[in-house]
């Protein structure tokens, strides 16, 4: 009874609605660092093909809970939870909400929390994810902060890893990369042509009509990018639409392999 009530609330909050075509180009820092093809669909007003799965909604919900708990725990005279704002960098309009701001000893820090789980925790043991650093750099520039802190929290164990970013060559490079990605997206929108998929897509036809997205061919390993793998439909609102041209030749028996758009073989 209680479990279903919780799911009902989560589903109501997480339902993806039709994206009306936007006249004003405003992006979120996390979107800049994510899949540009998905953003193209969104800004073009394309109807999402994949509603969020319960598994994906659970992840988002738990992330929100942990973010809120961290904000409550840290809220004091130095730490202030972030709030939704709009800002501009080199003519690019952003809507953003950093997790927190720390002002201490005459310096300003932007704080960003990232909750991870299972294999995701292992990927940030030695260094942060590049897209998270780019997001942090954008926040720093928008907030005119001296530095930023990226805190990873493992949902399973509660363990934490902290990385920092200061202004300098690396910071400048991250901002330039973000600007380049946005300008390329604007070019694709103007041309009416979606960008190439953000991650490589490799598909193998297997016996019985099935498909494999992680395989070896001629001694070489092929592995489809994580968000685009079969079974990861909770990661993208346009999962089926984006992959249709890659999957159709396999499903229709017209190809044995689709190596990131390169068709090989055919049905026997």
What is the rounded average pLDDT of the residues 131-149? 96
DSSP symbol at 184: H
Asked if 177 and 212 sit in the same domain, the reply is no
What is the rounded average pLDDT of the residues 51-77? 74
Of 137, 172, 191, the domain-final residue: 191
Please determine, for residue 6, whether its predicted confidence score (pLDDT) is greater than 80. no
- pTM exceeds cut of 0.85: no
The residue count of the chain comes to 268
Which residue range forms the structural domain that includes residue 246? 202-264
Does residue 246 belong to any structural domain of this protein? yes
DSSP symbol at 145: -
Q: Which pLDDT score, from 0 to 100, does residue 104 have?
A: 87
Give the rounded percent of residues in the chain with a pLDDT score beyond 90: 40
Please determine, for residue 119, whether its predicted confidence score (pLDDT) is greater than 80. no
Asked if 153 and 233 sit in the same domain, the reply is no
Does residue 196 belong to any structural domain of this protein? no
Report the alpha-carbon distance of residue 71 to residue 76 in Å, rounded: 10
Of 191, 222, 241, the domain-final residue: 191
Asked if 105 and 126 sit in the same domain, the reply is yes
Residue of 243 and 172 predicted with greater confidence: 172
Which whole-number Å values give the CA distances from 195 to 81, 179, 183, 250, in the listed order?
35, 16, 12, 22
- Of these ranges, 19-28, 46-55, 107-116, 237-246, the one predicted with the greatest mean pLDDT is 107-116
Does residue 89 belong to any structural domain of this protein? yes
DSSP symbol at 205: E
Cα R_g (the chain), whole angstroms: 21
User: Average pLDDT over the chain, rounded to whole?
Assistant: 84
Give the model's confidence band at 20: pLDDT under 50 very low, under 70 low, under 90 confident, else very high.
Answer: very low
Please determine, for residue 55, whether its predicted confidence score (pLDDT) is greater than 70. no
Handedness of CA 181, 233, 61, 48 (dihedral sign): positive
Interstrand relation of 160-166 and 147-154 (parallel, antiparallel or unpaired): antiparallel
Check which CATH number belongs to the domain holding 121 and give it: 3.90.320.10
What is the rounded average pLDDT of the residues 178-187? 95
**Contact by Cβ (8 Å): 149, 133:** no
Q: Which pLDDT score, from 0 to 100, does residue 137 have?
A: 97
Asked if 217 and 186 sit in the same domain, the reply is no
Asked if 237 and 171 sit in the same domain, the reply is no
């Amino acid at each position: 009874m209680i479990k279903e009530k919780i799911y009902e609330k989560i589903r109501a909050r997480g339902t993806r609605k039709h994206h009306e075509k936007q006249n004003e180009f405003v992006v979120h820092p996390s979107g800049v660092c994510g899949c540009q093809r998905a953003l193209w669909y969104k800004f073009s007003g394309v109807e999402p093909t994949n509603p969020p799965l319960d598994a994906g909604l659970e992840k988002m919900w738990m992330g929100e809970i942990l973010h809120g708990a961290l904000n409550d725990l840290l809220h004091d005279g130095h730490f202030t939870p972030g709030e939704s704002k709009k800002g501009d960098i080199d003519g690019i309009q952003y809507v953003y909400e950093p997790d927190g701001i720390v002002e201490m000893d005459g310096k300003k820090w932007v704080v960003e929390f990232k909750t991870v789980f299972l294999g995701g925790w292992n990927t940030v043991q030695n260094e942060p994810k590049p897209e998270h650093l780019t997001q942090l750099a954008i926040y720093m520039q928008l907030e005119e902060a001296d530095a930023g802190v990226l805190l990873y929290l493992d949902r399973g164990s509660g363990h934490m890893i902290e990385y920092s970013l200061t202004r300098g060559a690396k910071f400048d490079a991250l901002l330039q990369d973000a600007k380049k990605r946005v300008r390329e997206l604007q070019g694709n929108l103007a041309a009416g042509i979606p960008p190439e998929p953000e991650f490589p897509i490799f598909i193998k036809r297997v016996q019985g009509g099935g498909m494999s997205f992680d395989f070896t061919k001629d001694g070489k390993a092929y592995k489809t990018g994580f968000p685009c793998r079969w079974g990861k439909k909770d990661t993208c609102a346009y999962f089926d639409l984006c992959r249709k041209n890659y999957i159709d030749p396999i499903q229709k028996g017209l190809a044995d392999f689709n190596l990131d758009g390169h068709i090989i073989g055919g049905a026997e």
